[in-house]
């Protein structure tokens, strides 16, 4: 399972990339706004911090506008992945961009049928939004499960990029189902490592080691 971080904060990205556990980055217009930085400049910096795909989202809603913006974004670096919304224009743009080898992430996916369309459009990634699905009274994990089943039925190569992940249990469930990627806020990635018994174990070993009077 690949781990992407869902942020445009370059300090967090650099810190997590240094662990060697980070496989990519996703951003969206809200995260760019939160960073307070210039979109192209911050995207360029992020692309230099990780080797894997960096999703940068178009803001046009029509196909021609999306293509124009994608042209600007894909010149930033080889690892830019163009993020398009799950609309007819987004799917049309996805089909066109992927036909010449550009990475595309189809985002704002809330149904298995939408994910089927994204795969048929040749998407590199589809982003089902687990947390926002849960927020609205649906089961985000049912969505991931259905998409996994459909993609396996037809051997689609589109990767399931579980998005809008809110806590470690979401990550665990996605891993059980077989999502290809989870994109998580930095705090969720950091929380995955935590366990009270790990801390307690280290504390006990350190106390006993001190008693030996030895050093390494």
167 by DSSP, 3-state: which? coil
Strands 159-162 and 103-109: unpaired
The catalytic position among 2, 34, 75, 83 is: 83
- State yes or no: residue 28 binds ligand E4P (CB under 6 A): yes
List, in order, residues 6 or more apart from 143 with CB less than 8 Å away.
109, 110, 111, 112, 128, 130, 133
- For the CB of residue 208, give the shortest distance to ligand E4P in the complex, in Å: 43
Which position among 3, 129, 151, 156 is part of the footprint of ligand E4P (CB under 6 A)?
129
Using the Cα atoms of residue 160, residue 98, residue 104 and residue 114 in order, give the sign of their dihedral.
Answer: negative
- State yes or no: residue 127 binds ligand E4P (CB under 6 A): yes
Identify which of residues 160 and 163 has a Cβ nearer to ligand E4P in the complex: 163
Distance (Å, rounded) from C-alpha 165 to C-alpha 33? 20
83 belongs to the catalytic site: yes
- The angle subtended at Cα 149 by Cα 146 and Cα 150, nearest 5°, is 85
x/- binding map, residues 79-108, to ligand E4P, per CB under 6 A? ----------------------------x-
Interface stretch with ligand E4P, choices 9-17, 46-54, 94-102, 129-137 (CB under 6 A): 129-137
- State yes or no: residue 54 binds ligand E4P (CB under 6 A): no
Residues that are catalytic: 83
């Amino acid at each position: 399972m690949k781990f992407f971080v869902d942020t445009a904060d370059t300090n967090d990205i650099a810190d997590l990339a240094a662990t060697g556990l980070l496989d990519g980055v996703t951003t969206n217009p809200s995260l760019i706004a939160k960073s307070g930085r210039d979109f192209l400049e911050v995207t360029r910096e992020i692309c230099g911090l990780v080797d894997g795909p960096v999703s940068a989202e178009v803001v046009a809603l029509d196909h021609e506008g999306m293509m124009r913006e994608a042209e600007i974004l894909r010149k930033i670096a080889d690892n830019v992945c163009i993020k398009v919304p799950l609309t007819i224009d987004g799917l049309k743009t996805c089909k066109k961009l992927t036909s010449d080898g550009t990475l595309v992430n189809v985002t704002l996916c809330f149904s298995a049928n939408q994910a089927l369309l994204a795969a048929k459009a040749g998407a590199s990634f589809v982003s089902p939004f687990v947390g926002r699905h849960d927020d609205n009274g649906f089961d985000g994990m049912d969505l991931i499960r259905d998409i996994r089943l459909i993609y396996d039925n037809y051997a689609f190569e589109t990767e399931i990029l579980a998005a809008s992940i809110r806590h470690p249990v979401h990550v665990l469930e996605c891993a059980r189902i077989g999502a290809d990627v989870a994109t998580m806020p930095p705090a969720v990635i950091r929380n995955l490592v935590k366990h009270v018994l790990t801390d307690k174990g280290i504390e006990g070993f350190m106390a006993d080691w001190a008693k030996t009077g030895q050093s390494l």
